[in-house]
Structure 1
Amino acid sequence: MKAFLFDMNGTMIDDMHFHLDIWYDVLTNDLGAGLTRQEVRSHMYGKNDELLARVFGVGRFTPDEVAAISQRKEEKYQAVYKPHLTLLPGLHDFLESAYHANIPMAIASAAIPFNIDFVLDNLDIRKYFKAVVSAHDVLESKPHPEVFEKAASILGVEPLSCVVFEDSPKGVEAALRAGMKSVVLTTMHAPDEFTDYGNIITFAKDYKDQKVVRLVV
Structure 2
Amino acid sequence: MQEIIFKPKAFLFDLNGTMINDMSYHADAWYAIITKRLGLAISYEAVKNEMYGKNEELLIRIFGVDYFTSAEVEAISMAKEKSYQEAYAADLKLIDGLDDFLATAKTTGIKMAIGSAAIPFNIDFVLDGLNARQYFDGIVSANDVKLSKPDPETFLNAAAVLGIEPQHCLVFEDVPKGVESADRAGMKCFVVTTTHRKEEFKSFPNILGFIKDYNDPILTNLF
TM-score, normalising length from structure 2?
Answer: 0.95
**Per-residue displacement from partner, 1:45-96 (whole Å, max 9, x unpaired)?**
0000000000000100000000000000000000000000000000000000
The equivalent of 1:102 in structure 2 is: 109
CA positional deviation for 1:38: 1.0
The equivalent of 1:214 in structure 2 is: 221
Number of residue pairs matched? 216
The equivalent of 1:13 in structure 2 is: 20
CA positional deviation for 1:213: 3.2
For residues 142 and 212 of structure 1, the distance between their equivalents in structure 2, rounded to whole angstroms, comes to: 25
Q: From 144, 154, 158, give the equivalent of 2:151.
A: 144
For residues 212 and 87 of structure 1, the distance between their equivalents in structure 2, rounded to whole angstroms, comes to: 17
**Per-residue displacement from partner, 1:10-58 (whole Å, max 9, x unpaired)?**
0000000110111111111111221111111110000000000000001
The equivalent of 1:58 in structure 2 is: 65
Q: From 190, 195, 200, give the equivalent of 1:193.
A: 200
Q: Secondary structure at the match of 2:134?
A: helix
CA positional deviation for 1:214: 2.6
Q: Does 1:80 align with 2:82?
A: no
Q: Does 1:43 align with 2:50?
A: yes
- How many percent identity over aligned positions? 56
Asked if the contact 1:33/1:55 (under 8 Å) is kept, the reply is no
Q: Secondary structure at the match of 2:170?
A: strand
Moved beyond 4 Å, runs of 4+: none
Q: Does 1:3 align with 2:5?
A: no
For residues 76 and 214 of structure 1, the distance between their equivalents in structure 2, rounded to whole angstroms, comes to: 39
For residues 95 and 75 of structure 2, the distance between their equivalents in structure 1, rounded to whole angstroms, comes to: 30
Gaps of 5+ in 1: none
Q: From 88, 93, 97, give the equivalent of 2:100.
A: 93
TM-score, normalising length from structure 1?
Answer: 0.98
